[in-house]
Homo-oligomer: A and B are copies of this chain.
Amino acid sequence: MDLQHPFHDENGDSLHEECGVFGAINAGSEAATTTALGLHALQHRGQEAAGISSFDGTHFYTRRGLGHVAENFSSAESIAELPGFMAVGHVRYSTTGGAGLRNVQPLYADLASGGFAIAHNGNISNAATLREELVGKGAIFQSTSDTEVIIHLVATSRYPTMLDKLTDALRLVEGAYALIVATPRGMAACRDPLGIRPLQMGRMGDAVVFASETVAFDVVGAKFEREVEPGELIEVDFDGSIRSHRPFGDNPPRPCIFEHVYFSRPDSIFAGRSVYEARKAIGSELAIEAPCEADLVVPVPDSGVPAAIGYAQQSGLPFELGIIRSHYVGRTFIQPSDGARHSGVRRKHNANRGLVEGKRIVLIDDSIVRGTTSMKIVEMMRDAGATEVHFRVASPPTAHSCYYGVDTPERSKLLAARMELEPMREFIKADSLAFISIDGLYRAVGRESRDKACPQFCDACFTGDYPTRLTDFTRNQQGAAQLSFPENKPANKVA
């Protein structure tokens, strides 16, 4: 089971992590091989595009493409184009506007100090403002990516060393970032001061590897060492020496709690805790907070499965596959007008009618975003003969947009921003509806409760409590000049 949630694909009814990053240094001749495999393990964090830059001691090599990692980096030919002992890679979920190949990372630039390749997971919340200033000084941007701002800040920094230049640049940016940078001197991995986006460190023989999630280490055969800490910048040299820096001082960390709920793979370790165990604990808490008289616990596959197991074990109700998922999805078919109303949904999921008929069921899903798919699933269960459908959600109501690299619908589209609990229940037509409480969620991930004064996680999508300034957003709100990036509309073949 993984985290892909096919119900959500069709109409944007989901939250999407926008990126995954991977880096390997001192990896003999296999930096690109390892990075390709590591990115493949992070594929769930971004399916739209993938890229790798490598360095062989003399030259940098970059290959980027639309589509999955396997489509771009599984052939011997593709790997042969990426020689060297250091590589950095990126997978990406496409942002609005589909800006094409030039926004695919790693971004690469020839600086006066030499080559500079960067992979970035997150979002810089003052990127438009910084870009405006840089262009005013003569900088020429080649992408519409916020990441490119970092490169120009590095290129124009007056500090002497690469470490100083990078620190200088990062001090000017606000928002969330997990970065891996490759230069002719070595590799740097860095997390924003609050550690909103995740970054992990591992070892594989002489090589040091970095990845958004620990599952990538399992897949490439590396040993998980530790998290890159919030606000930490780790330098690795070609002689194997590793130095940790703390350029932003100390801040209480605020890692994204949604990694536990949905983004990370269940076999990853995040913030010191097994994601699978966290999700089972969420299900268990939910069973305590919102118990239910029913015959079966049914997960919405596949992301709802661990929480459903937790709910079933806590409640004593049997865990059953009441919805069968097809693995062959991807494109929307033309629908027969004549057929059932819901064949669109059923192409991806199908009620296990023999099981469900005549039963009271508890459905477990990870979250409700717009609510339309939840409504369809409830209806599908009833059509298959379920007598009662109780909906339990393994996260609090999602009522606020994310500005830190997660693709959320605008706020007005979020069901929980539009209505209270009972109208939500009516909207999805369930017999009962319950969300885990925010404190229940914190308990499930190992805290006593949420520290209101200084929350232990970023939970802004549930609470609206944003841990950083949102400069661009605020300027836009104030009716300032349009801050969205200028766009040289690209055709499909354009660099």
A interface residues with partner B (beta carbon < 8 Å): 1-2, 4, 27-28, 30, 33-34, 36-37, 40-41, 43-44, 47, 53, 59-65, 68-74, 76, 78-79, 81-82, 100-102, 104, 108-112, 115, 135-142, 151-152, 155-156, 204-205, 207, 215, 218-222, 265-267, 269, 274, 276-277, 301-302, 305-306, 309, 313, 318-321, 324-343, 346-347, 350-355, 486-491, 493-495
**In the complex, what residues of B have CB within 8 A of residue A152's CB?**
138, 140
Nearest-neighbour CB distance to chain B for A281, whole angstroms, equals 12
**In the complex, what residues of B have CB within 8 A of residue A490's CB?**
62-63
Please measure, in the bound complex, the distance between the C-alpha atom of A215 and the C-alpha atom of B69, giving whole angstroms.
Answer: 32
Please measure, in the bound complex, the distance between the C-alpha atom of A313 and the C-alpha atom of B320, giving whole angstroms.
Answer: 10
Inter-chain contact B334/A79, CB cutoff 8 Å: yes
Query: Which residue of chain B lies nearest to A79 when distances are taken between CB atoms in the complex?
Result: B334
Please measure, in the bound complex, the distance between the C-alpha atom of A324 and the C-alpha atom of B268, giving whole angstroms.
Answer: 10
Inter-chain contact B325/A110, CB cutoff 8 Å: no
Can you list 30 A-B pairs, Cβ within 8 angstroms, ordered by A? A1-B321, A33-B336, A34-B338, A37-B347, A41-B350, A44-B327, A59-B488, A62-B489, A63-B490, A63-B493, A74-B332, A78-B491, A101-B493, A102-B495, A110-B141, A112-B138, A138-B152, A139-B139, A139-B155, A140-B155, A215-B324, A220-B340, A221-B339, A221-B341, A221-B346, A267-B350, A274-B352, A276-B321, A309-B321, A327-B327
- Give the residue of B305, B324, B338 whose beta carbon is less than 8 angstroms from that of A207: B338
Inter-chain contact A221/B112, CB cutoff 8 Å: no
**In the complex, what residues of B have CB within 8 A of residue A494's CB?**
62-64, 101
Nearest-neighbour CB distance to chain B for A339, whole angstroms, equals 3
Inter-chain contact A221/B340, CB cutoff 8 Å: yes
Please measure, in the bound complex, the distance between the C-alpha atom of A352 and the C-alpha atom of B68, giving whole angstroms.
Answer: 24
- Give the residue of B60, B74, B151, B313 whose beta carbon is less than 8 angstroms from that of A140: B151
Please measure, in the bound complex, the distance between the C-alpha atom of A30 and the C-alpha atom of B82, giving whole angstroms.
Answer: 38
Nearest-neighbour CB distance to chain B for A199, whole angstroms, equals 19
- Give the residue of B104, B331, B355, B488 whose beta carbon is less than 8 angstroms from that of A495: B104
Nearest-neighbour CB distance to chain B for A78, whole angstroms, equals 7
Query: Which residue of chain B lies nearest to A24 when distances are taken between CB atoms in the complex?
Result: B336
**In the complex, what residues of B have CB within 8 A of residue A218's CB?**
346, 350-351, 353
Inter-chain contact A321/B266, CB cutoff 8 Å: yes
Inter-chain contact B40/A328, CB cutoff 8 Å: yes
Nearest-neighbour CB distance to chain B for A284, whole angstroms, equals 12
Query: Which residue of chain B lies nearest to A357 when distances are taken between CB atoms in the complex?
Result: B274
Please measure, in the bound complex, the distance between the C-alpha atom of A374 and the C-alpha atom of B45, giving whole angstroms.
Answer: 29
Given contacts A155-B140, A333-B40, A354-B276, contact A346 B219 (CB under 8 A): yes
Query: Which residue of chain B lies nearest to A110 when distances are taken between CB atoms in the complex?
Result: B486
Query: Which residue of chain B lies nearest to A346 when distances are taken between CB atoms in the complex?
Result: B219
Inter-chain contact A62/B491, CB cutoff 8 Å: yes
Query: Which residue of chain B lies nearest to A68 when distances are taken between CB atoms in the complex?
Result: B328
Inter-chain contact B135/A30, CB cutoff 8 Å: no
Inter-chain contact B140/A65, CB cutoff 8 Å: no
Inter-chain contact A61/B306, CB cutoff 8 Å: no
Nearest-neighbour CB distance to chain B for A40, whole angstroms, equals 6
Nearest-neighbour CB distance to chain B for A169, whole angstroms, equals 11
Inter-chain contact B136/A112, CB cutoff 8 Å: yes
- Give the residue of B47, B110, B215, B313 whose beta carbon is less than 8 angstroms from that of A350: B215
Inter-chain contact A267/B353, CB cutoff 8 Å: yes
**In the complex, what residues of B have CB within 8 A of residue A355's CB?**
274, 276-277
**In the complex, what residues of B have CB within 8 A of residue A332's CB?**
74
Inter-chain contact B495/A336, CB cutoff 8 Å: no
Please measure, in the bound complex, the distance between the C-alpha atom of A33 and the C-alpha atom of B333, giving whole angstroms.
Answer: 8
Please measure, in the bound complex, the distance between the C-alpha atom of A43 and the C-alpha atom of B102, giving whole angstroms.
Answer: 27
- Give the residue of B109, B139, B219, B327 whose beta carbon is less than 8 angstroms from that of A4: B327
Inter-chain contact B1/A301, CB cutoff 8 Å: yes
Inter-chain contact B343/A74, CB cutoff 8 Å: no
Nearest-neighbour CB distance to chain B for A311, whole angstroms, equals 13
Inter-chain contact A338/B221, CB cutoff 8 Å: yes
Known pairs A64-B493, A276-B352. 12 more at Cβ < 8 A? A34-B339, A40-B347, A59-B489, A62-B494, A76-B334, A82-B491, A104-B495, A115-B486, A137-B156, A140-B155, A219-B343, A222-B339
